[in-house]
Amino acid sequence: MKKYILPILVLLAIIAVIFVWLGGSSSLEYSLVEQEEIALYGYEYRGRPTQPELEKLFFKVRDASSFETGRFLTIISYGTEAEVDTLYQFIGTQHSSFNADSSVQKIVEGGQFVQVTLDMHAMVRPSPANVRKGAVDFARDKGLQVADWNLEIFTAEDVLTVLFPVVD
């Protein structure tokens, strides 16, 4: 039994180091921001989260996006995590030069948003439900309420900024 303790401790230490290296120990800091209008160009998707069409649309838009030129991959997620059967999203980029077949333009009006930036690898990011819960709690503490949709903006390789619109 004793001969297994040291290897297990070493393995746990390695896992902890990897977790921290990927950004898993980062805390989420919510803030209230004013956001200008955002014009998006891309595709609407309504269907099951497991459909191959969703993955194809995601990679099509991701490949047309660019961190260097500000053509950020941006996803609007409508609804709540409780709606597990059907996913409704708009997958787009913030640049008008994205004119692929059947793409559409969507305008997100400017206003007040609860913002959180997740500067961590996707493997260690908190679930969307936990991120939303934090935004709802933050807004409630300020006497505000957030809408049932949010924007997810991929601004760098492992950096995701999530915006929750504040509603009246």
What is the tens place of the pLDDT at every residue in 146-164?
999 999 998 887 888 999 9
Query: Is residue 38 in a domain?
Result: yes
Among 105-109, 118-122, 141-145, the minimum mean pLDDT is found in: 118-122
Query: Is residue 48 in a domain?
Result: yes
Query: Is residue 18 in a domain?
Result: no
CATH number at residue 102: 3.20.80.10
Query: Is residue 9 in a domain?
Result: no
Query: Is residue 71 in a domain?
Result: yes
Instruction: Give the pTM.
Output: 0.78
Integer Cα distance of 139 and 136 in angstroms: 5
**CA-to-CA separations, 6 to 2, 10, 16, 18, 94, in angstroms, rounded:** 8, 6, 15, 18, 51
Query: Is residue 21 in a domain?
Result: no
pLDDT digits (tens, 9 = 90+) for 46-100: 998 888 999 998 888 888 777 666 788 899 999 865 556 788 999 998 876 655 5
In total, how many domains does the chain have?
1
Query: Is residue 142 in a domain?
Result: yes
Query: Is residue 55 in a domain?
Result: yes
* Domain of residue 85, residue span: 27-167
